[in-house]
Amino acid sequence: MRSVSSGSICALLLACATMILAGCAAKFEPASWAERPNIVLIFADDHAWQAISAYSPRLIETPNIDRLAKEGTLFRNCYVPNSICGPSRAAVLTGKYSHANGFYRNGNQFDGGQWTFPKALQVAGYETALIGKWHLGEHMAPQGFDYSCTLIGQGPYYNPAMLLDEDGDGKREEISITGYTTDVVTDLTLDWFENRKESGKPFLAMTQHKAPHRPWMPALRHLDEFEDETVPEPETLFDDYEGRPRATRLQDMTIAHTMVKRDLKLEEMPDLNEEQRAQWNAVYGPRNEAFLAANLEGDDLVRWKYQRYIKDYLRCIRAMDENVGRILDYLDETGLAENTIVIYSSDQGFFLGEHGWFDKRWMYEESMKTPLLVRWPGHTKPGSVSEDLVSVLDFAATFCDVAGTTVGEGGHGRSLVPVLDGRAPEDWRDVFYYHYYEYPGWHAVRKHYGVADGRYKLMYFYELDMREWHLVDLEADPQELRNFYDDPAYAEVQARLHEALDEARAELGVPELDPLESFPADDPFKPREREPARRKTLGVF
């Protein structure tokens, strides 16, 4: 037997102790197990950061959401890894990129058997609830929740049917609730706060809204808001996509050509009951008659569509902001606010007419960047702004850190706790990897991946018939209208970003070949060529 001297054992113990201490130094230590903070995640669907006044006062005032910025931290660079609803939600739950959690595009079914942070928090002694939008498939009940009440699929704006699993046993009953869905989701959240069965436990509440997703149906109480004003148009409403990759022209997501009658409220709207429909039609009926009588064409018609779209979108935000206020008020009134982390975020950003677009998907600023505002009394400095590159991928690691538990193997996110304390670690990420896969699919946005470092972006549209690069410099060109790829002045930046991209893909284990079906070079999904049939079936106006 090999003998070990007492001196080397001491050195070994010392080394272990140092390692443990070093490991603990970065971890959050609550005063006691019972005093771990509650977590309230208010998660919107398609809420553009441009429509939050704490980010930009141009379009709307959102005093309640802004409270989180005033009393906490606003993140200017929160990125999503794949800017589309289902994949972003899967990334939140698992802390992993699409290629690692298996959810690449809408319509995939989430593998609920894998590690998720709500399961980990439940094991760590949190009481957990999911209320509102799930959108990861109805094939199985959401796992890791003591209570869930979820919208089915995308969910409606009015009178939602919901799947209720009151005790988290996986058996669900369908219930139907009358009301405006943004209000309903908040009502259910407040009820859950009131009725929590085990009030001694810290809790996790995920309040996930349908709004402001397409088709942007406002609450009846907001139908007159903004009507007498002209909302400012984005400078790029009539973008010609000159000088940029072909993918920007081949999309099918313009306000001018893609919006259907339902988007524009020019047909009978779904889901309203008789009383609601009467009120709705009393407002939109005369407006629509005036529009039809005006017989608008060309740019005037696009401008009208933009106004109809943006006003309805902002009205949806109005209800969202009010409902954030209801949650914050409840936390204040019950004294819970002091030990509760409140997060407001969205599954991704959204185009509000920039480049002539609505929808998301692209690695451009409006859609890759999502709002993130966090208030954690005693940690986030009131009124602070962070420029650190953070992501919804970091939520899982953050919540596990707060709950004193560990993330599952192979996670790609990092705990934001030190960032929330205002001191990002020195080795915090300096580039972020992005990858969009949903093609062919809605809106015909071509597959692409790339890296962003806060100023520069390198994107690659990698399909066989594409193979085009886009190099962005946000400082020189904040609206991303130019392509600096192969510009000699950017040779050094380009080389550096290529290296960062290769490194990121290797480090994250992104498969060399896209695992989804490749698309043939001869593209049968050209939107312009199938335009007449499409206009007929979808009611494009």
- Residues lying near Ca ion in the complex (CB under 5 A): 45-46, 85, 347
Tokens representing 206 are 């995920």
Taking the complex as a whole, the smallest distance from the CB of residue 45 to Ca ion amounts, in Å, to 4
Are the beta carbons of 354 and 248 closer than 8 angstroms? no
Taking the complex as a whole, the smallest distance from the CB of residue 438 to Ca ion amounts, in Å, to 12
Please report which residue ranges of 5-116 form alpha helices under DSSP H: 6-25, 63-71, 85-94, 98-101
Strand partners, 346: 44
Pick between residue 160 and residue 418 the one whose CB is nearest to Ca ion.
160
Pick between residue 45 and residue 252 the one whose CB is nearest to Ca ion.
45
Taking the complex as a whole, the smallest distance from the CB of residue 348 to Ca ion amounts, in Å, to 6
Instruction: Give the integer Cα–Cα distance in Å for 504 and 286.
Output: 55
Instruction: Give the integer Cα–Cα distance in Å for 393 and 397.
Output: 8
Pick between residue 45 and residue 239 the one whose CB is nearest to Ca ion.
45
Which one, of 111, 88, 153, lies nearest residue 393 by Cα? 88
Pick between residue 359 and residue 468 the one whose CB is nearest to Ca ion.
359
The letter for the amino acid at 423 is R
Pick between residue 148 and residue 346 the one whose CB is nearest to Ca ion.
346
- Which residue shows structure tokens 């204040």? 332
Beta-sheet pairing, 161-165 with 147-151: antiparallel
Tokens representing 112 are 């609920």
Which one, of 124, 208, 201, 135, lies nearest residue 407 by Cα? 124
Pick between residue 46 and residue 453 the one whose CB is nearest to Ca ion.
46
Which one, of 443, 225, 438, lies nearest residue 319 by Cα? 225
Are the beta carbons of 43 and 206 closer than 8 angstroms? yes
Taking the complex as a whole, the smallest distance from the CB of residue 130 to Ca ion amounts, in Å, to 17
Pick between residue 263 and residue 347 the one whose CB is nearest to Ca ion.
347
Longest dimension (CA), the chain: 97
Taking the complex as a whole, the smallest distance from the CB of residue 179 to Ca ion amounts, in Å, to 22
Taking the complex as a whole, the smallest distance from the CB of residue 363 to Ca ion amounts, in Å, to 16
Which one, of 324, 42, 316, 48, lies nearest residue 181 by Cα? 316
Please report which residue ranges of 196-294 form alpha helices under DSSP H: 247-250, 274-294
Are the beta carbons of 172 and 141 closer than 8 angstroms? yes
Taking the complex as a whole, the smallest distance from the CB of residue 50 to Ca ion amounts, in Å, to 15
Taking the complex as a whole, the smallest distance from the CB of residue 120 to Ca ion amounts, in Å, to 25
Pick between residue 345 and residue 494 the one whose CB is nearest to Ca ion.
345
Taking the complex as a whole, the smallest distance from the CB of residue 537 to Ca ion amounts, in Å, to 24
Structure-derived torsion over alpha carbons of residues 193, 199, 202, 203, reported in degrees to the nearest 10: -30
Pick between residue 46 and residue 146 the one whose CB is nearest to Ca ion.
46
Taking the complex as a whole, the smallest distance from the CB of residue 207 to Ca ion amounts, in Å, to 15
Pick between residue 348 and residue 494 the one whose CB is nearest to Ca ion.
348
Alpha carbon distance, N-terminus to C-terminus of the chain: 85
Tokens representing 318 are 């109005």
Indicate the residue whose CB is closest to Ca ion. Answer: 85
- Which residue shows structure tokens 């893909």? 505
